[in-house]
A and B are shown apart, each in its own frame.
Chain A
Amino acid sequence: MITPTHYMMLSTALFAIGVIGVITRRNIIVIFMSIELMLNAVNINLIAFSYQLQDGIGQVFAIFVIAVAAAEAAVGLGIILAFYRNKETINIDEMNVMRW
Chain B
Amino acid sequence: MTTHTGQMFDTEELVINMGPQHPSTHGVLRVVLRLDGEKVVSSDVVIGYLHRGIEKLSENRNWTQIILLTDRMDYVAAATNNVGYCQTVEKLMQIEVPRRARYIRTAICELQRIASHCLWLGTHAMDIGAMTVFLYAFRERELILDLFEEYCGARLTYNSMRIGGLPLDIPVGWDRKVLEFCTIMSEKVDEYEELLTHNRIWLERTRGIGVITAEQAIAIGLSGPPLRGSGVPRDIRKDEPYAAYDEMKFDVPVGTSGDTYDRYLVRLEEFRQSIRIIRQAIQGLPEGPIVGKVPRLIKPPAGETYHAIESPKGEIGYFIVSDGKSTNPYRFRVRPPSFCNLQALPQLIKGHLVADVVALIGSIDVVLGEVDR
Contact = CB atoms under 8 A, between A and B. Distances in A.
Q: Do chains A and B touch in the complex (CB under 8 A)?
A: yes
**Chain A: interface residue count, which band?**
under 10
B3 A85 contact: no
B37 to A, nearest CB: 13
A86 interface: yes
Say what secondary structure dominates the interface of chain B: loop
A87 interface: yes
Closest CB pairs A-B (n = 7): A88-B9, A94-B1, A100-B5, A85-B9, A85-B11, A86-B9, A86-B8
A91 to B, nearest CB: 10
Contacts of A97: 3
B65 to A, nearest CB: 62
Nearest to B10: A85
B198 interface: no
Contacts of B296: none
B8 A85 contact: yes
Interface of B: 1, 3-6, 8-11
Contacts of A85: 8-11
Interface of A: 85-88, 94, 96-97, 100
18 contacts: A85-B8, A85-B9, A85-B10, A85-B11, A86-B4, A86-B8, A86-B9, A87-B4, A87-B9, A88-B4, A88-B9, A94-B1, A96-B1, A97-B3, A100-B3, A100-B4, A100-B5, A100-B6
Given A85-B8, A97-B3, A100-B5, 8 more contacts: A86-B4, A86-B8, A86-B9, A87-B4, A87-B9, A96-B1, A100-B3, A100-B4
A85 B10 CA distance: 6
Contacts of B5: 100
Nearest to A89: B2
